[in-house]
Each structure stands twice: as structure tokens, then as C-alpha cells.
Amino acid sequence: MTKSLTITRPDDWHLHLRDGAMLRAILPETARHFARAIIMPNLMPPVVTGAQALAYRDRILAALPAGMSFEPLMTLYLTEDSNTEDIAAAHANGLIKAVKLYPAGATTNSASGVSDFSKVFGILEKMAEIGLPLCVHGEVTDHNIDIFDREAIFIDRVLEPIRSSIPELRIIMEHITTSDGVDYVRENEANLAATITTHHLIINRNHILVGGIKPHYYCLPVAKREEHRLALRIAATSGDNRFFLGTDSAPHVDTLKENACGCAGCFTASNTMALLAHVFEEDQSLNHLEAFASQNGPAFYGMPLNNDTITLTKSDTPTNFPSKIYAGEEKVTVFDPGFPVYWSVT
Ligand code: NCD
Ligand code: ZN
């Protein structure tokens, strides 16, 4: 029995596209299904200025295969030395759609991030005034704080003080991984939303650690206990417009993942939509997939919905996703959910 579902073409509200050969290899994986994506600025060196964002945007568009369309929604990487006028100008001319806050040291290429949040308060006030949203990697980086507690403590120590001082600032808590994140978004009526990744709806920390360490399930923020995964499932599949898809698809070559000090990141761009159809069907919520993947994000960012559609089809036999994508000679492993998936984008 085949079953199909047609939805407004989705967008990805948190994506790592990298640069060079990796960019060329992975961009089609996103552009095949998604119309737009919020592009993370954590390159080496990071995308800090409007000029750097413009140049990166040109490299992305140059890497897009002929015949494909895709709109990269650029962001700037916030540092303690960021220039308020440059950020405001990049927003005014339509180049950037958000600014990204990485606590220094929180994740891949975040060394230039913020240590002293008081140093960026003036910029955040300006962003609130001009209506430029802040995307937040919500983990504290204090060495004394257990990695599994870093999101909850970030909410208390960093996010709540920012929100109470600058309530008009529109904030996206990116890739939330805990029920604390879900509850915090639910308690706040305005100017706060969260993205949820595909992989955090599927794996908990046992998947990473039980029966041998699984480097391809290691990402940041790290997957938490099962109760947290279930809270994310309820939030994502509820239709609540404060929760939407940000895949955080973050490719690293296999040699750097399968390594004594393996990089964080799951690469989900290729099969995300099929996996989401599986998840939403399992939770009897296929009717809310369009809200999560295609409607709630544009609504929060104040952008129009895409005017074309994609169709997801469920067949009797499992879908064969590619297990690797090749970036030159190097391989990138596609996220394996660990169960058969019968959905595909047709
Ligand atoms: C991201 C990356 O590799 O750039 N890794 C990850 O595990 N998600 C960085 C990030 O978004 O934290
Ligand atoms: Zn990310």
C-alpha cells in the first residue's frame, strides 16, 4: 500500500554548509528538498562581517548545480569585537537574517565566540530595535558543568538574563535537546522559539554509548536521556508554532569522526524529510509535519511560505538512502536512524 503526503516545500532553519569541496558535495543534498536554509557562520575563520557573509553567499550560489534553486539565508557570527553598524547595515540591505551567538568554546569552531555577555549587550539592544533575530547555541561552557546539564544551566544563567533585560529581542534557541528547553519556550509567549533537529527526535544518549561508541551519533549539544527525547517529540509533533525544523546537519569527513578525538556533528541533509515523515507518522501527527518543516519557521522569521511543494511517499519496501556522500576523495557518513524507513521524497 502506498501512502503519500504533499506539503509546502520545507526550509532548514539551522544548517552547516561548510566551504570548498565539502560545500560542493553537500549543497545538492539540501537543495534537493529545501528551498531556503539559515546558514551557520562557523567557518575557519568565522563569518563575522557583512563583507564576509556576502562573499560566502556568493561561494554558496556558485556551488549550486545548474537547474537547482536554493536561497541561503546568511548569518553573522557574534564576537565580543563585532561592529554594531556593520551588523545593522547587513540587515538593512537584506543580506543577513540573523546573528549567531556561540558561547566561546561550546562547539566546532567556536573559539571566537562570546565569553563576557555584557560585552555584546549593546549589539543585542540594537538588534532588538531593528528586528534582527538572535540564534543561540544554548550551552554554557564552564568546565565544572557536566555536559548533560549545560543546556538547562544556560537557560538560567545566560538566556533568562538577556530576555528579561531585552524582552523585544527575538531569540531562536537552536537545536534544543532537553525538556528544560521545551518548557522554557512554552512558558514564554512572545519573541522566543526553538529549532529541533531530526536526529534528536530519533536518538538518545544510549544510542551513542551502549554497545560500543558510535561516533556518527556524536553531536553538540549531545543527545540526552530518553525522557528528553520524548519531550522533543511531543513539542515537534504538536503543531505549536514556536517549534520548527533546524536540522543542524553538520558534515565532517569520516576520518575526523572515526577518530580518537572525533568531531561533533550528524549529517542528516540527505534523509531528513523521510525520517521526519517516519517520526511524525509514528506519533500519529503527519498532519503537523508541514507546520514543523514548512510553516512555523517562516512565520517566526517574518518570511513568506514557499510557493511550491514536495511530496513524500511511503512504499512497501525500505528506502535505500546513500550511506556515504563523497567530498572529493573523502567520505561523509549519512545519518543512519538504525531502523528501516519506508518514506522518501518523490
Ligand atoms: C556543529 C559543527 O560541526 O559545525 N556540530 C554539531 O555537533 N552540531 C557545530 C554546532 O552547531 O554545534
Ligand atoms: Zn549547528
Q: Which stretches in the chain have pLDDT values below 50? A: none
Q: Residue 345's closest CA among 284, 272, 280? A: 272
- Closest approach atom of ligand 1 to CA 102: 12
Residue nearest to atom 5 of ligand 1 (CA): 265
Query: Which run of H or E residues covers position 99?
Result: strand 96-101
279-307 pLDDT, tens digit per residue, is 999 999 999 999 999 999 999 999 999 99
Residues 6+ apart with CB under 8 A from 20: none
Cα torsion 113, 176, 76, 187: sign: negative
Burial of residue 132, with CB atoms counted within 10 A of its CB: 0-12 exposed, 13-18 middle, 19 or more buried? buried
Specify the DSSP class assigned to residue 198: S
Identify which ligand lies nearest to the alpha carbon of 110: 1
Q: Residue 83's closest CA among 116, 119, 55, 115? A: 119
Cα torsion 91, 92, 93, 94: sign: positive
Report the separation in Å between the CA atom of 15 and the middle of ligand 2, taken as the mean of its atom positions. Answer: 6
Report the separation in Å between the CA atom of 49 and the middle of ligand 2, taken as the mean of its atom positions. Answer: 19
Identify which ligand lies nearest to the alpha carbon of 106: 1
Contact residues of ligand 1, CB 6 A cut-off: 16, 42, 107-108, 137, 219-220, 248, 250, 264-265
Pocket probe for ligand 1: among 22, 107, 217, the residue whose CB has the most ligand atoms within 8 Å is: 107
Query: Do 3 and 313 touch, CB atoms closer than 8 A?
Result: yes
Report the separation in Å between the CA atom of 315 and the middle of ligand 2, taken as the mean of its atom positions. Answer: 32
Domains and CATH numbers, the chain: 4-345 (3.20.20.140)
| CA distance linking residue 244 with residue 113, whole number of Å | 25
Pocket probe for ligand 1: among 18, 195, 248, the residue whose CB has the most ligand atoms within 8 Å is: 248
Active site residue 19: no
Q: What are phi and psi of 291, to 5 degrees?
A: -60, -50
What is residue 189's predicted lDDT score, i.e. its pLDDT?
A: 85
